[in-house]
Homo-oligomer: A and B are copies of this chain.
Amino acid sequence: MSNNQFKRGELYSVINGMATTAVARRLQKNFRKAGLDITIEQWSVLYHLWKEDGLSQLELGNRTFRDKASTTRLIDNLEKQELVVRVASKDDRRINLVYLTDIAKPLQQITYELANQTMNEALLNISKEEIDIVKNVFQRVYDNLTNKDLL
């Protein structure tokens, strides 16, 4: 189908650009205002560990859409802040399992509230239907670009 008529170049800024940057900056600002000294990237890792603790670095990378080098360093920094510990897997000593510390656990509630609040600011007057379409489009864009890699 792909015979959509787009103004050249313009498209890219549809997907990338202003909105994502603005939301990220706002969320970071809200973290700081609440006295939380974590980046949104670090938060994205913690977020997945709160859902399921003890994931491997590779699995964390997959879930947060990062390569393994980026994941390594993000976890380095989280470990420096004592929010997370690496534990070598008994079964396969190549694998590091990443676990939340007691310092990280109480952050879940606060950061979820800040994320919710931020998204409410961002999505003011935007309907559930519109949000669903955006989510759906994004999923299909992702699939379009990643399935092709497997061929």
Closest to A115 in B: B9
Residues of chain B within 8 A (CB-CB) of A25 are 145
Closest to A17 in B: B65
Residues of chain B within 8 A (CB-CB) of A16 are 20, 23-24
Q: How far is the CB of A14 from chain B (nearest CB, A)?
A: 5
Question: In chain A, residues 12-38, which have Cβ atoms closer than 8 Å to a Cβ of chain B?
Answer: 12-27
Q: How far is the CB of A53 from chain B (nearest CB, A)?
A: 16
- Report how many residues on chain A are interfacial, defined by Cβ distance under 8 Å: 60
Of A79-87, A89-97, A131-139, the one contacting chain B is A131-139
Residues of chain B within 8 A (CB-CB) of A65 are 17-18, 21-22
B11 & A116 in contact (Cβ 8 Å cutoff): yes
Q: How far is the CB of A100 from chain B (nearest CB, A)?
A: 15
- Tell yes or no: A73 within 8 A of B by CB: no
- Tell yes or no: A140 within 8 A of B by CB: yes
Residues of chain B within 8 A (CB-CB) of A131 are 4, 14, 137
Q: List 12 A-B contacts (CB under 8 A).
A: A2-B123, A8-B112, A8-B113, A11-B116, A14-B134, A15-B20, A15-B119, A21-B65, A123-B144, A125-B140, A130-B137, A134-B134
Measuring CB to CB, which residues of chain A are less than 8 angstroms from any residue of chain B? 1-2, 4-6, 8-9, 11-27, 40, 44, 47, 65, 111-113, 115-116, 118-128, 130-131, 133-142, 144-146, 148
